[in-house]
Protein backbone atom coordinates (compact mmCIF):
# COMPACT_ATOMS: atom_id res chain seq x y z
CA UNK A 1 0.00 0.00 0.00
CA UNK A 2 1.07 3.58 -0.58
CA UNK A 3 1.88 5.95 2.26
CA UNK A 4 -1.17 7.71 3.72
CA UNK A 5 -1.99 10.87 1.81
CA UNK A 6 -4.36 13.49 3.24
CA UNK A 7 -7.79 13.74 1.60
CA UNK A 8 -8.01 16.93 -0.42
CA UNK A 9 -10.42 19.71 0.53
CA UNK A 10 -12.80 19.10 -2.35
CA UNK A 11 -13.12 15.44 -1.45
CA UNK A 12 -13.77 16.42 2.17
CA UNK A 13 -16.44 18.86 1.03
CA UNK A 14 -18.08 16.10 -1.01
CA UNK A 15 -17.94 13.71 1.95
CA UNK A 16 -19.56 16.40 4.06
CA UNK A 17 -22.44 16.92 1.66
CA UNK A 18 -22.77 13.15 1.14
CA UNK A 19 -23.17 12.55 4.84
CA UNK A 20 -25.70 15.35 5.13
CA UNK A 21 -27.71 13.77 2.29
CA UNK A 22 -27.58 10.42 4.10
CA UNK A 23 -28.84 11.95 7.34
CA UNK A 24 -31.78 13.52 5.54
CA UNK A 25 -33.02 10.29 3.92
CA UNK A 26 -35.42 7.91 5.62
CA UNK A 27 -34.92 5.00 3.25
CA UNK A 28 -31.51 3.37 3.68
CA UNK A 29 -31.17 2.44 0.00
CA UNK A 30 -31.90 5.99 -1.09
CA UNK A 31 -29.40 7.18 1.55
CA UNK A 32 -26.74 4.89 0.19
CA UNK A 33 -27.56 5.92 -3.40
CA UNK A 34 -26.93 9.56 -2.51
CA UNK A 35 -23.77 8.75 -0.56
CA UNK A 36 -22.35 6.83 -3.52
CA UNK A 37 -23.47 9.49 -6.01
CA UNK A 38 -21.69 12.24 -4.02
CA UNK A 39 -18.44 10.29 -3.88
CA UNK A 40 -18.53 9.01 -7.43
CA UNK A 41 -15.85 11.45 -8.55
CA UNK A 42 -13.46 10.33 -5.81
CA UNK A 43 -14.12 6.63 -5.84
CA UNK A 44 -14.70 5.01 -9.20
CA UNK A 45 -16.23 1.54 -9.55
CA UNK A 46 -18.43 -0.38 -11.98
CA UNK A 47 -20.66 -2.37 -9.66
CA UNK A 48 -21.36 -2.47 -5.95
CA UNK A 49 -23.32 -5.04 -3.97
CA UNK A 50 -24.11 -5.82 -0.36
CA UNK A 51 -24.19 -9.44 0.76
CA UNK A 52 -25.97 -9.85 4.10
CA UNK A 53 -25.52 -12.80 6.40
CA UNK A 54 -28.76 -14.66 6.99
CA UNK A 55 -28.44 -15.85 10.59
CA UNK A 56 -31.13 -18.51 10.13
CA UNK A 57 -29.70 -20.20 7.06
CA UNK A 58 -26.06 -19.10 7.47
CA UNK A 59 -26.10 -18.18 3.79
CA UNK A 60 -25.82 -14.75 2.21
CA UNK A 61 -28.60 -12.65 0.68
CA UNK A 62 -27.99 -9.77 -1.67
CA UNK A 63 -30.03 -6.80 -0.58
CA UNK A 64 -28.46 -3.94 -2.52
CA UNK A 65 -26.84 -3.90 -5.95
CA UNK A 66 -26.03 -1.09 -8.34
CA UNK A 67 -24.31 -1.13 -11.70
CA UNK A 68 -22.94 2.23 -12.76
CA UNK A 69 -19.73 1.78 -14.72
CA UNK A 70 -18.68 0.92 -18.23
CA UNK A 71 -18.83 -2.72 -19.39
CA UNK A 72 -20.88 -3.43 -16.32
CA UNK A 73 -22.62 -6.63 -15.36
CA UNK A 74 -26.39 -6.46 -15.11
CA UNK A 75 -27.56 -5.19 -11.74
CA UNK A 76 -29.36 -8.46 -11.05
CA UNK A 77 -26.20 -10.48 -11.65
CA UNK A 78 -24.16 -10.27 -8.48
CA UNK A 79 -22.22 -13.51 -8.76
CA UNK A 80 -19.02 -11.52 -9.41
CA UNK A 81 -18.78 -10.54 -5.73
CA UNK A 82 -19.99 -13.68 -3.97
CA UNK A 83 -16.55 -15.29 -3.57
CA UNK A 84 -14.85 -12.28 -2.01
CA UNK A 85 -17.93 -11.56 0.13
CA UNK A 86 -17.64 -15.04 1.63
CA UNK A 87 -13.92 -14.51 2.32
CA UNK A 88 -14.61 -11.14 3.95
CA UNK A 89 -17.27 -12.73 6.12
CA UNK A 90 -14.96 -15.57 7.10
CA UNK A 91 -12.01 -13.28 7.93
CA UNK A 92 -13.89 -10.19 9.07
CA UNK A 93 -11.44 -7.84 7.38
CA UNK A 94 -11.02 -5.71 4.27
CA UNK A 95 -9.83 -7.81 1.33
CA UNK A 96 -8.61 -6.80 -2.11
CA UNK A 97 -8.48 -9.17 -5.04
CA UNK A 98 -6.88 -8.35 -8.37
CA UNK A 99 -6.97 -10.51 -11.51
CA UNK A 100 -3.98 -12.80 -12.03
CA UNK A 101 -3.68 -12.18 -15.74
CA UNK A 102 -3.86 -10.78 -18.80
CA UNK A 103 -4.49 -7.43 -20.23
CA UNK A 104 -5.92 -8.82 -23.43
CA UNK A 105 -8.78 -10.64 -21.67
CA UNK A 106 -12.27 -9.12 -22.00
CA UNK A 107 -12.99 -6.42 -19.40
CA UNK A 108 -15.54 -8.48 -17.52
CA UNK A 109 -12.93 -11.19 -16.92
CA UNK A 110 -10.61 -8.75 -15.14
CA UNK A 111 -12.39 -7.85 -11.92
CA UNK A 112 -10.57 -5.73 -9.35
CA UNK A 113 -12.48 -6.36 -6.15
CA UNK A 114 -12.52 -4.71 -2.78
CA UNK A 115 -14.60 -6.35 -0.06
CA UNK A 116 -15.37 -4.68 3.25
CA UNK A 117 -16.99 -6.13 6.37
CA UNK A 118 -20.17 -4.48 7.69
CA UNK A 119 -20.45 -4.37 11.47
CA UNK A 120 -24.11 -4.00 12.30
CA UNK A 121 -25.22 -3.68 15.92
CA UNK A 122 -21.81 -4.86 17.17
CA UNK A 123 -21.86 -8.00 14.99
CA UNK A 124 -20.55 -8.89 11.58
CA UNK A 125 -23.72 -8.59 9.51
CA UNK A 126 -22.56 -8.61 5.93
CA UNK A 127 -20.01 -7.56 3.33
CA UNK A 128 -19.95 -4.70 0.86
CA UNK A 129 -18.10 -5.37 -2.38
CA UNK A 130 -17.01 -2.99 -5.13
CA UNK A 131 -15.68 -4.08 -8.48
CA UNK A 132 -13.76 -2.31 -11.21
CA UNK A 133 -13.52 -4.36 -14.32
CA UNK A 134 -9.99 -4.08 -15.75
CA UNK A 135 -8.77 -1.76 -13.01
CA UNK A 136 -7.18 0.61 -12.16
CA UNK A 137 -5.63 -0.67 -8.94
CA UNK A 138 -7.07 0.62 -5.70
CA UNK A 139 -4.92 3.30 -4.04
CA UNK A 140 -4.64 3.85 -0.31
CA UNK A 141 -7.01 6.81 -0.63
CA UNK A 142 -9.57 4.69 -2.48
CA UNK A 143 -9.40 2.05 0.21
CA UNK A 144 -9.94 4.67 2.90
CA UNK A 145 -12.92 6.07 0.99
CA UNK A 146 -14.39 2.61 0.45
CA UNK A 147 -13.93 1.93 4.14
CA UNK A 148 -15.66 5.20 5.01
CA UNK A 149 -18.55 4.28 2.71
CA UNK A 150 -18.80 0.84 4.31
CA UNK A 151 -18.88 2.35 7.83
CA UNK A 152 -21.72 4.65 6.82
CA UNK A 153 -23.50 1.82 5.07
CA UNK A 154 -23.27 -0.25 8.25
CA UNK A 155 -24.70 2.62 10.25
CA UNK A 156 -27.52 3.04 7.71
CA UNK A 157 -28.29 -0.67 8.00
CA UNK A 158 -28.17 -0.45 11.77
CA UNK A 159 -30.60 2.45 11.68
CA UNK A 160 -32.91 0.36 9.47
CA UNK A 161 -32.69 -2.63 11.82
CA UNK A 162 -33.59 -0.40 14.77
CA UNK A 163 -36.45 1.17 12.83
CA UNK A 164 -37.84 -2.26 11.88
CA UNK A 165 -37.52 -3.46 15.47
CA UNK A 166 -39.28 -0.34 16.72
CA UNK A 167 -42.21 -0.71 14.34
CA UNK A 168 -42.51 -4.40 15.19
CA UNK A 169 -42.56 -3.51 18.88
CA UNK A 170 -45.19 -0.83 18.25
CA UNK A 171 -47.31 -3.32 16.34
CA UNK A 172 -47.07 -5.87 19.19
CA UNK A 173 -47.95 -3.15 21.72
CA UNK A 174 -50.92 -2.07 19.61
CA UNK A 175 -52.04 -5.68 19.32
CA UNK A 176 -51.86 -6.08 23.10
CA UNK A 177 -53.89 -2.91 23.63
CA UNK A 178 -56.44 -4.09 21.06
CA UNK A 179 -56.68 -7.45 22.82
CA UNK A 180 -57.42 -5.67 26.11
CA UNK A 181 -60.10 -3.52 24.47
CA UNK A 182 -61.47 -6.62 22.81
CA UNK A 183 -62.21 -8.31 26.12
CA UNK A 184 -64.38 -5.41 27.21
CA UNK A 185 -66.00 -5.05 23.76
CA UNK A 186 -66.74 -8.71 23.48
CA UNK A 187 -68.27 -8.98 26.92
CA UNK A 188 -70.58 -6.09 26.00
CA UNK A 189 -71.37 -7.65 22.61
CA UNK A 190 -72.18 -11.01 24.21
CA UNK A 191 -74.21 -9.57 27.05
CA UNK A 192 -76.45 -7.35 24.95
CA UNK A 193 -78.15 -10.10 22.88
CA UNK A 194 -78.16 -12.43 25.88
CA UNK A 195 -79.92 -9.72 27.89
CA UNK A 196 -82.63 -9.39 25.21
CA UNK A 197 -83.07 -13.14 24.88
CA UNK A 198 -83.30 -13.62 28.63
CA UNK A 199 -85.62 -10.62 29.14
CA UNK A 200 -88.11 -11.49 26.40
CA UNK A 201 -88.20 -15.21 27.14
CA UNK A 202 -88.75 -14.54 30.86
CA UNK A 203 -91.60 -12.20 29.94
CA UNK A 204 -93.18 -14.84 27.71
CA UNK A 205 -92.90 -17.44 30.46
CA UNK A 206 -94.53 -15.31 33.17
CA UNK A 207 -97.51 -17.13 34.63
CA UNK A 208 -99.21 -13.96 35.79
CA UNK A 209 -99.42 -12.26 32.40
CA UNK A 210 -100.88 -13.30 29.09
CA UNK A 211 -99.67 -11.80 25.86
CA UNK A 212 -101.74 -11.44 22.75
CA UNK A 213 -100.55 -13.24 19.64
CA UNK A 214 -98.98 -10.16 18.02
CA UNK A 215 -96.95 -9.34 21.10
CA UNK A 216 -95.83 -12.93 21.45
CA UNK A 217 -94.71 -12.87 17.84
CA UNK A 218 -92.88 -9.60 18.32
CA UNK A 219 -91.01 -10.99 21.37
CA UNK A 220 -90.17 -14.22 19.58
CA UNK A 221 -88.87 -12.28 16.57
CA UNK A 222 -86.57 -10.29 18.84
CA UNK A 223 -85.34 -13.50 20.48
CA UNK A 224 -84.79 -15.01 17.03
CA UNK A 225 -82.86 -11.98 15.74
CA UNK A 226 -80.73 -11.68 18.85
CA UNK A 227 -79.89 -15.39 18.68
CA UNK A 228 -78.73 -14.84 15.08
CA UNK A 229 -76.60 -11.91 16.22
CA UNK A 230 -75.03 -14.03 18.93
CA UNK A 231 -74.39 -16.87 16.51
CA UNK A 232 -72.78 -14.48 14.04
CA UNK A 233 -70.58 -13.02 16.74
CA UNK A 234 -69.42 -16.44 17.93
CA UNK A 235 -68.89 -17.56 14.32
CA UNK A 236 -66.76 -14.48 13.67
CA UNK A 237 -64.67 -15.09 16.75
CA UNK A 238 -64.07 -18.73 15.84
CA UNK A 239 -63.46 -17.83 12.21
CA UNK A 240 -60.88 -15.17 13.05
CA UNK A 241 -59.11 -17.56 15.44
CA UNK A 242 -59.01 -20.25 12.73
CA UNK A 243 -57.84 -17.81 10.09
CA UNK A 244 -55.13 -16.58 12.41
CA UNK A 245 -53.90 -20.09 13.13
CA UNK A 246 -54.28 -20.91 9.40
CA UNK A 247 -56.34 -24.02 10.06
CA UNK A 248 -59.03 -23.24 7.49
CA UNK A 249 -59.09 -25.32 4.33
CA UNK A 250 -60.05 -23.27 1.28
CA UNK A 251 -61.89 -24.98 -1.57
CA UNK A 252 -60.82 -23.29 -4.79
CA UNK A 253 -62.99 -23.68 -7.87
CA UNK A 254 -63.56 -21.55 -10.95
CA UNK A 255 -66.27 -19.09 -9.98
CA UNK A 256 -68.06 -16.13 -11.45
CA UNK A 257 -67.44 -13.21 -9.17
CA UNK A 258 -70.20 -11.12 -10.77
CA UNK A 259 -72.79 -13.82 -10.02
CA UNK A 260 -71.45 -14.30 -6.50
CA UNK A 261 -71.63 -10.59 -5.65
CA UNK A 262 -75.08 -10.41 -7.28
CA UNK A 263 -76.31 -13.28 -5.04
CA UNK A 264 -74.97 -11.66 -1.88
CA UNK A 265 -76.56 -8.33 -2.87
CA UNK A 266 -79.90 -10.07 -3.41
CA UNK A 267 -79.77 -11.75 0.00
CA UNK A 268 -78.92 -8.43 1.66
CA UNK A 269 -81.76 -6.69 -0.18
CA UNK A 270 -84.31 -9.12 1.34
CA UNK A 271 -83.61 -7.61 4.78
CA UNK A 272 -82.69 -4.11 3.66
CA UNK A 273 -85.52 -3.36 1.29
CA UNK A 274 -84.79 0.34 0.95
CA UNK A 275 -81.02 -0.07 0.48
CA UNK A 276 -79.96 1.30 -2.90
CA UNK A 277 -77.41 -1.04 -4.49
CA UNK A 278 -75.92 -0.25 -7.87
CA UNK A 279 -74.02 -3.08 -9.57
CA UNK A 280 -71.72 -1.85 -12.27
CA UNK A 281 -70.08 -4.96 -13.71
CA UNK A 282 -67.81 -5.31 -16.75
CA UNK A 283 -67.39 -8.68 -18.49
CA UNK A 284 -65.01 -10.78 -16.47
CA UNK A 285 -63.82 -14.35 -16.88
CA UNK A 286 -64.19 -16.91 -14.04
CA UNK A 287 -61.54 -16.74 -11.33
CA UNK A 288 -60.27 -19.44 -8.98
CA UNK A 289 -61.88 -18.92 -5.57
CA UNK A 290 -63.66 -20.34 -2.57
CA UNK A 291 -67.23 -19.17 -3.12
CA UNK A 292 -68.36 -19.55 0.48
CA UNK A 293 -65.43 -17.52 1.82
CA UNK A 294 -65.64 -14.84 -0.84
CA UNK A 295 -69.37 -14.47 -0.16
CA UNK A 296 -68.42 -13.92 3.46
CA UNK A 297 -66.11 -11.07 2.42
CA UNK A 298 -68.88 -9.27 0.53
CA UNK A 299 -71.43 -9.95 3.28
CA UNK A 300 -69.02 -8.28 5.71
CA UNK A 301 -68.62 -5.26 3.44
CA UNK A 302 -72.42 -4.95 3.18
CA UNK A 303 -72.84 -5.29 6.96
CA UNK A 304 -70.26 -2.56 7.51
CA UNK A 305 -71.73 -0.22 4.92
CA UNK A 306 -75.18 -0.62 6.47
CA UNK A 307 -73.75 -0.04 9.95
CA UNK A 308 -71.34 2.80 9.30
CA UNK A 309 -72.95 4.49 6.29
CA UNK A 310 -76.66 4.14 7.09
CA UNK A 311 -78.97 5.37 4.34
CA UNK A 312 -76.16 5.67 1.84
CA UNK A 313 -76.47 4.16 -1.64
CA UNK A 314 -73.85 1.51 -2.43
CA UNK A 315 -72.03 1.05 -5.69
CA UNK A 316 -70.10 -2.07 -6.58
CA UNK A 317 -67.88 -1.78 -9.59
CA UNK A 318 -66.26 -4.85 -11.10
CA UNK A 319 -63.65 -4.75 -13.84
CA UNK A 320 -60.94 -6.84 -15.36
CA UNK A 321 -57.29 -5.87 -14.85
CA UNK A 322 -54.31 -7.30 -16.71
CA UNK A 323 -53.85 -10.34 -14.48
CA UNK A 324 -56.68 -9.85 -12.05
CA UNK A 325 -60.20 -8.72 -11.40
CA UNK A 326 -60.79 -5.65 -9.35
CA UNK A 327 -63.80 -4.83 -7.20
CA UNK A 328 -64.52 -1.38 -5.80
CA UNK A 329 -67.20 -1.37 -3.11
CA UNK A 330 -68.20 2.24 -2.33
CA UNK A 331 -70.54 3.97 0.07
CA UNK A 332 -71.29 7.62 0.59
CA UNK A 333 -71.17 7.54 4.37
CA UNK A 334 -69.02 9.57 6.74
CA UNK A 335 -65.80 7.85 5.64
CA UNK A 336 -62.76 6.76 7.63
CA UNK A 337 -60.10 9.27 8.76
CA UNK A 338 -56.80 8.86 6.91
CA UNK A 339 -54.81 8.14 10.03
CA UNK A 340 -56.92 5.07 10.84
CA UNK A 341 -57.06 3.55 7.35
CA UNK A 342 -53.85 1.52 7.69
CA UNK A 343 -55.16 -0.25 10.78
CA UNK A 344 -58.76 -1.18 10.03
CA UNK A 345 -57.82 -4.62 8.69
CA UNK A 346 -56.01 -5.55 11.91
CA UNK A 347 -57.56 -8.06 14.25
CA UNK A 348 -59.81 -6.37 16.86
CA UNK A 349 -59.12 -2.91 15.47
CA UNK A 350 -61.99 -0.41 15.67
CA UNK A 351 -61.80 3.27 14.77
CA UNK A 352 -61.72 4.97 18.17
CA UNK A 353 -64.46 7.23 19.51
CA UNK A 354 -67.44 5.71 17.72
CA UNK A 355 -70.76 4.76 19.26
CA UNK A 356 -71.64 1.94 16.85
CA UNK A 357 -70.93 -1.45 18.39
CA UNK A 358 -68.71 -4.08 16.81
CA UNK A 359 -65.75 -6.34 17.50
CA UNK A 360 -63.12 -5.28 14.97
CA UNK A 361 -63.09 -8.74 13.42
CA UNK A 362 -65.02 -8.25 10.16
CA UNK A 363 -62.32 -6.60 8.04
CA UNK A 364 -59.60 -8.79 9.55
CA UNK A 365 -61.56 -11.83 8.36
CA UNK A 366 -61.99 -10.24 4.90
CA UNK A 367 -58.27 -9.56 4.63
CA UNK A 368 -57.26 -13.08 5.63
CA UNK A 369 -59.67 -14.59 3.10
CA UNK A 370 -58.41 -12.33 0.31
CA UNK A 371 -54.78 -13.07 1.21
CA UNK A 372 -55.53 -16.80 1.04
CA UNK A 373 -56.63 -16.10 -2.56
CA UNK A 374 -53.30 -14.32 -3.20
CA UNK A 375 -55.28 -11.12 -3.63
CA UNK A 376 -55.19 -7.65 -2.10
CA UNK A 377 -57.71 -5.63 -0.12
CA UNK A 378 -57.43 -2.01 0.94
CA UNK A 379 -59.62 0.99 1.64
CA UNK A 380 -59.59 4.59 0.51
CA UNK A 381 -61.74 7.34 1.90
CA UNK A 382 -62.46 11.04 1.72
CA UNK A 383 -63.98 12.26 4.96
CA UNK A 384 -67.62 13.21 4.55
CA UNK A 385 -67.78 11.62 1.10
CA UNK A 386 -67.61 7.93 1.88
CA UNK A 387 -65.34 4.92 1.86
CA UNK A 388 -64.33 2.59 -0.94
CA UNK A 389 -63.03 -0.92 -0.33
CA UNK A 390 -60.91 -2.31 -3.16
CA UNK A 391 -60.28 -5.98 -3.74
CA UNK A 392 -58.00 -7.50 -6.37
CA UNK A 393 -58.10 -11.22 -7.08
CA UNK A 394 -55.79 -13.02 -9.51
CA UNK A 395 -57.22 -14.48 -12.71
CA UNK A 396 -54.81 -17.37 -12.89
CA UNK A 397 -55.12 -20.55 -10.89
CA UNK A 398 -53.24 -20.24 -7.65
CA UNK A 399 -49.65 -21.43 -7.41
P1 LIG B 1 -66.35 -3.76 13.43
O2 LIG B 1 -67.35 -3.32 12.42
O3 LIG B 1 -66.81 -4.93 14.23
O4 LIG B 1 -65.86 -2.65 14.29
P5 LIG B 1 -64.56 -4.24 11.18
O6 LIG B 1 -63.25 -4.94 11.16
O7 LIG B 1 -65.61 -4.73 10.26
O8 LIG B 1 -65.05 -4.29 12.68
O9 LIG B 1 -64.31 -2.69 10.88
C10 LIG B 1 -63.24 -2.01 11.51
C11 LIG B 1 -63.54 -0.53 11.61
O12 LIG B 1 -63.54 0.05 10.31
C13 LIG B 1 -64.90 -0.24 12.17
O14 LIG B 1 -64.83 -0.16 13.57
C15 LIG B 1 -65.26 1.09 11.52
O16 LIG B 1 -64.78 2.15 12.31
C17 LIG B 1 -64.47 1.10 10.22
N18 LIG B 1 -65.34 0.88 9.04
C19 LIG B 1 -65.55 -0.29 8.40
N20 LIG B 1 -66.34 -0.12 7.33
C21 LIG B 1 -66.64 1.19 7.27
C22 LIG B 1 -67.41 2.01 6.38
N23 LIG B 1 -68.04 1.49 5.31
N24 LIG B 1 -67.48 3.34 6.65
C25 LIG B 1 -66.84 3.87 7.71
N26 LIG B 1 -66.10 3.15 8.59
C27 LIG B 1 -65.99 1.85 8.38
Asked whether 381 lines ligand 1 (CB < 6 A), one says no
Which atom of ligand 1 lies closest to the CA of 364?
A: 6
Angle between helix 291-308 and helix 362-372 axes, rounded to 10 deg = 150
Eight-state DSSP code of residue 71 = T
Asked whether 304 lines ligand 1 (CB < 6 A), one says yes
Burial class (CB in 10 A: 0-12, 13-18, 19+), 272: middle
pLDDT at 71: 57
Burial class (CB in 10 A: 0-12, 13-18, 19+), 247: exposed
pLDDT at 7: 66
Alpha-carbon distance 338 to 359, whole Å? 21
Please say whether the beta carbons of 317 and 328 come within 8 A: yes
CATH number assigned to the domain covering 253-394? 3.30.565.10
Please say whether the beta carbons of 66 and 48 come within 8 A: yes
Q: What are phi and psi of 18, to 5 degrees?
A: -60, -45
* Site to substitute for ligand 1 among 304, 361, 389, most atoms within 8 A of C-beta: 304
Which residue from 297, 189, 294 is spatially nearest to 251, judged by alpha carbons? 294
Which atom of ligand 1 lies closest to the CA of 331?
A: 23
pLDDT tens for 155-183 read 999 988 899 999 999 988 988 888 887 78
Which residue has a Cα nearest atom 12 of ligand 1?
A: 344
pLDDT tens for 36-87 read 888 888 888 889 999 999 878 878 889 899 988 765 566 667 888 999 999 9
Q: What are phi and psi of 235, to 5 degrees?
A: -60, -45
Give per-residue burial for 154-165: e unless 16+ CB within 10 Å, then b: bbbbbbbeeeee
Rounded to the nearest angstrom, the distance between the alpha carbon of 262 and the centre of ligand 1 is 22
Rounded to the nearest angstrom, the distance between the alpha carbon of 74 and the centre of ligand 1 is 47
Query: Domain 169-244, what architecture?
Result: Orthogonal Bundle (1.10)
Alpha-carbon distance 376 to 65, whole Å? 29
Which residue has a Cα nearest atom 20 of ligand 1?
A: 304
Instruction: Give the class (CATH, top level) of 9-162.
Output: alpha beta
Q: What is the DSSP string of 288-348?
A: EE-HHHHHHHHHHHHHHHHHHSTT--EEEEEEE-SSEEEEEEEE-SS---GGGGGGTTSTT
Decide if pLDDT at 278 tops 70.
yes
List, in sequence order, every residue forming a beta bridge with 79; answer none if it has no partner. none
Q: Give 206-225 as a 3 state SS string.
A: CCCCCCCHHHHHHHHHHHHH
Eight-state DSSP code of residue 75 = T
Alpha-carbon distance 344 to 338, whole Å? 11
Please say whether the beta carbons of 86 and 75 come within 8 A: no
Which residue from 311, 315, 343, 345 is spatially nearest to 328, judged by alpha carbons? 315
- Which secondary structure element, helix H or strand E, spans residue 371, and what is its range? helix 362-372
Q: What are phi and psi of 242, to 5 degrees?
A: -70, -40
Percent of the chain residues topping a pLDDT of 70? 94
Asked whether 357 lines ligand 1 (CB < 6 A), one says no
pLDDT at 1: 44
Range with the poorest average pLDDT among 46-55, 212-221, 277-286: 46-55
Which atom of ligand 1 lies closest to the CA of 363?
A: 6
Alpha-carbon distance 202 to 193, whole Å? 14
Rounded to the nearest angstrom, the distance between the alpha carbon of 365 and the centre of ligand 1 is 12
Domain chopping of the chain, boundaries: 9-162, 169-244, 253-394
Decide if pLDDT at 399 tops 80.
no
Which atom of ligand 1 lies closest to the CA of 362?
A: 7
Decide if pLDDT at 3 tops 50.
no
* Site to substitute for ligand 1 among 363, 364, 378, 379, most atoms within 8 A of C-beta: 363
Which atom of ligand 1 lies closest to the CA of 389?
A: 23
pLDDT tens for 315-371 read 999 999 999 999 999 999 999 999 999 999 998 899 998 888 888 999 999 999 999
Which residue has a Cα nearest atom 27 of ligand 1?
A: 308
Decide if pLDDT at 107 tops 70.
no
Alpha-carbon distance 161 to 126, whole Å? 13
Q: What is the mean pLDDT of the chain?
A: 89
Decide if pLDDT at 106 tops 80.
no
Which residue from 114, 127, 121 is spatially nearest to 60, judged by alpha carbons? 127
Amino acid sequence: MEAEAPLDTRTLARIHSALQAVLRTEDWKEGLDSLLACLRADFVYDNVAIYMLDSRTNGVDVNYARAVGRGKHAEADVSWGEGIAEHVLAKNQILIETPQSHDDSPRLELPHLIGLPLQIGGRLGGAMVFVRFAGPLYTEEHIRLASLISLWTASLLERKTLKDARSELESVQRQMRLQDDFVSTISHELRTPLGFIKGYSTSLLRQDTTWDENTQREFLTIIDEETDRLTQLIDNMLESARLQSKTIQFKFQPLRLDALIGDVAQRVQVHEVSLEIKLDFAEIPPIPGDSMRLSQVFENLFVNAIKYAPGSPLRIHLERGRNNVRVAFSDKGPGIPDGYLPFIFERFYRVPGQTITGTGLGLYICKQIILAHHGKIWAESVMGQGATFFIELPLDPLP
